Amino acid sequence: MKAIQLQEPGKFRRIDVPDAPQPGAGEALVRVHRVGICGSDYGGYLGKMPFYSYPRVPGHELGVEVLAAGDGVTNVSPGDRCSVEPYMNCGECHPCLRGSGNCCETLKVLGVMTDGGLRERFIVPARKLHKSTKLSFDQLALVETLAIGCHAVNRGNPKKGDDVLVIGAGPIGLSAIEFVKLSGARIIVLDLNRQRLDFCKQVMGVDETVLLDGGEMDEIKRLTNGSMAQVVIDATGSHLSMANALGFCAFTGRLVYVGITQQEVVFQHAPVMHRRELSMFASRNALPEDFSRIIRLIEDGSIDTRPWITHHADFDDMIEVFPEWLKPESGVIKAVVSVSS
């Protein structure tokens, strides 16, 4: 069975792996049709993803088809099209028992800490499958990216009329924008890439965009009438951006870190965080209900996925084209790999 393995940073290879077995109790055998490429995949390729282990079959943004279901499986049947919730949690540790399986103490994320979807077929716990009778495999592969943004926005809890600043207009920042829009808050997006800001304004309907060029603090102060943003979501993964993000927060504001860095984040406590009584949140992965909600929102047209996928590749071409997707001039918003037709 064909698969693509990231052997070490910067080195993909095509490999053959044993065919998937028949599913056991509570499991499903799935055929992978689409794999979305996300920041974790780019970070793994560059050696900058702290949770990544090598060698690894990447791929956790998945649109799959159920081929067979094991004993006791009632939520899916052969032929169902599904998105995969790729967070393999134990169900028994403290966070799992509190309903936070996204933060399981022994969490294994498909394509990051355990082999993912850049292979033809594999076994997955059936409870991790979220089916749709309406969505395409491309759309199903986008659900996980959207879920990351959904959870981050839930952590920040913006209200109608709040000013929300999203820092970083990559796929995770864009997914956060979708859910800020649904909250009724006003959106400001900050990025250093003019092309991505234009996409936010022209395609995503963002209220205001700000280019990171040295004058961004004054511009955001102007846009918020001097108050700054009640919620700031940093989706960059840059330790420098994460350190500076506190300065964009209003008094009593909330800062959400959804990007990941391996470096220290340093900021002044007393003059900024303590004086303004800021609240700081981490946002990790997403929850099962986020997947169900997103599928409904795409199905009913509340989220339009058509602008998202800008680049496609067939399985056999992915290794060659992947480095091009890392270049800002490529204009990639979301790349998707077709594993099966």
- CB atoms under 10 Å from CB of 11, counted, come to 12
Domains of the chain in start order, with CATH, are 2-133+308-338 (3.90.180.10), 149-282 (3.40.50.720)
Q: In whole angstroms, what is the distance from residue 182 CA to residue 191 CA?
A: 21
314 forms beta bridges with 338
Contact 63, 86 (CB under 8 A): no
Q: What pLDDT is stored for residue 51 in this prediction?
A: 87
Contact 74, 39 (CB under 8 A): no
Which of 182, 138, 151 has its CA nearest to residue 305?
138
Q: What pLDDT is stored for residue 2 in this prediction?
A: 95
C-alpha distances out from residue 295 to 7, 179, 249, 250, Å? 33, 13, 32, 33
Q: What angle do CA 217, 219, 224 make, to 5 degrees?
A: 95
Average pLDDT by stretches of 10, the chain with 341 residues:
96 96 97 95 91 95 98 98 98 97 97 97 98 98 97 98 96 95 96 94 94 96 97 96 96 96 89 95 97 97 93 97 93 94 74
pTM: 0.94
Residue type at position 290: D
Q: What pLDDT is stored for residue 257 in this prediction?
A: 98
